[in-house]
Amino acid sequence: MKTKKSLTLALVGTMLLSGLLAGCGSNNNTNANANAPKETNNSAAAGNTSELKPYELKMYLIGGPQKDLDLVLKEVNKYTQEKINATLNVTMFDWGDYDKKMQVITASGEPYDIAFTSSWTNDFRRNAANGTFLGLNDLLDKYGKETKEVLDPRFLEGTKIKGEIYGVPVNKELGQQWVWRFNKKYVDKYKMDISNIRTLDDLEPLLKTIKENEPSDITPLDVPKGFKPFMPFDYVLGDELPIGVYMDSKDGKVVNILETPELATSLDTMHRLYTAGYLRPDVATLEGIDNIKTGKWFADREITQPYAEKGWSRSAGYEIVTSPMHEPYVYTQSAAGSMHAISVTSGDPERAMMFLNLLNTDKYLRNLLNYGIEGIHYKKISDNVIE
């Protein structure tokens, strides 16, 4: 997607781009038809709107506060009232708070309709096992037929537990790729070539340069506890449990990752880097990091998406550049990387599915959430091009 003017709308960031690309853009015109859904007739899925009672969908999403979100939601609600006689009541929790906040809400039994879920926060597997989320097979068959038509089938396979779907995937890029992120200030200062930095061993000489030449409050490799470099496994039960399948496996054999040579090598390397002072001294207990906010870092790692560098740089207020750790993979974690679930406490699961179906298939709604309001946030150049 190419944008001349970026619209940092949190609803877009979480729903359409999994929260990691809000605020991204480049210096080109936008093709407003890029990644747009096929034209569909949603009236069959929604039923006769005149027969639906008004309903407010209570939603929990991930992301920070965003300019003009309320203004855009007002227009969204006008449209969803016409389509499914429903409005949205959106509450957003910041990235570092979302998982804990949702656990508290779940434990309290507070009713809500839709929540952002994934393999990495508000874990859909945990919630499905605990009975927090509804199974969606029947709802998708009745109210989400168009969504099933436009989604790559591998998305839905990645959300299944014992044959039942527990999240409606965001129609985004399917593959996943970890990257090393770098504070460009230091890359430029020391004239570093990061183009071929793939492994921790590749990264180590650069970390040494920062350690030896920068003040002690600049962290060479700024990562929290639980950090592990990319290893070639599909973590079939989530990346917190060391059970996986080699990416290049021909037989799908499940292995104990704790017993693999890849993990042993990674642990040895991490110990060496820690001993050399390249990580924070308190990394073993560090729950989260504020490196982007402070700027006192050289390298970390993150999952990338198209134009992620621009989004990260815009959010930070300074340039961030990357180098890929590996080629993109399609696996369980990537397919379940950005989804929306329906709570068992929902007062109208059918209406919730009607909205999620619109989100994935309605071109006007997608463009409204992607780019904002015509004449305020963008100018239409032609049928499929805006600036």
Mean pLDDT of 225-251: 78
Q: Which residue has the higher pLDDT, 56 or 51?
A: 56
Binning pLDDT at 50, 70 and 90, where does residue 49 land?
Answer: low
Class of 10-174+336-386 per CATH?
alpha beta
Residue 290 has what pLDDT?
75
Question: What are the phi and psi torsion angles at 305 (to 5°)?
Answer: -145, 170
Pairing of strands 297-303, 219-221: parallel
Residue type, 95: W
**Which contacts of 100-105 are long-range, i.e. CB under 8 A and separated by 24 or more positions?**
101/60, 102/60, 105/60
Q: Which residue has the higher pLDDT, 208 or 39?
A: 208
Least confident interval from 20-24, 44-48, 204-208, 256-260: 20-24
Do the domains 10-174+336-386 and 178-329 sit in the same CATH topology, yes or no?
yes
Cα–Cα dist 349/9, whole Å: 26
Using alpha carbons, list the distances in angstroms from residue 231 to 194, 262, 299, 313: 20, 7, 18, 27
Q: Which residue has the higher pLDDT, 180 or 32?
A: 180
Q: Which residue has the higher pLDDT, 139 or 231?
A: 139
pLDDT in tens, 211-236: 999 999 999 999 988 787 788 887 77
Of 69-73, 115-119, 183-187, 257-261, the range with the highest mean pLDDT is: 183-187
Cα–Cα dist 170/166, whole Å: 13
Binning pLDDT at 50, 70 and 90, where does residue 44 land?
Answer: very low
Q: Could you tell me what percent of the chain has a pLDDT over 70?
A: 83
pLDDT value at 6 more than 60: no
pLDDT in tens, 294-341: 899 999 998 888 788 988 898 889 999 999 998 887 766 667 778 999
The owner of tokens 């080109």 is: 28
Q: What angle do CA 238, 353, 350 make, to 5 degrees?
A: 125
Domain ranges of the chain: 10-174+336-386, 178-329
pLDDT value at 52 more than 80: yes
pLDDT in tens, 77-104: 999 999 999 999 999 898 778 999 999 9
The answer to pTM > 0.75 is: no
Biggest CA-to-CA distance, the chain: 70
Binning pLDDT at 50, 70 and 90, where does residue 50 land?
Answer: low
pLDDT value at 146 more than 90: yes
User: Mapped to the 3 state alphabet, what secondary structure does the chain carry?
Assistant: CCCCCCCCCHHHHHHCCCCCCCCCCCCCCEECCCCCCCCCCCHHHHCCHHHCCCEEEEEEEECCCCCCHHHHHHHHHHHHHHHHCEEEEEEEECCCCHHHHHHHHHHHCCCCCEEEEECCCCEHHHHHHCCCECCCHHHHHHHCHHHHHHCCHHHHHHCEECCEECCEECCCCCCECEEEEEEHHHHHHCCCCCCCCCCHHHHHHHHHHHHHHCCCCCEEECCCCCCCCCCCEEECCCCCCCEEEECCCCCCCEEEHHHCHHHHHHHHHHHHHHHCCCCCCCHHHCCCCCHHHHCCEEEEEEECCCCHHHHHHHHHCCCEEEEECCCCECCHHHHCCCEEEEECCCCCHHHHHHHHHHHHHCHHHHHHHHHCCECCCECEEECCEEC
Binning pLDDT at 50, 70 and 90, where does residue 174 land?
Answer: low
Residue 3 has what pLDDT?
36
Is 178-329 CATH 3.40.190.10? yes
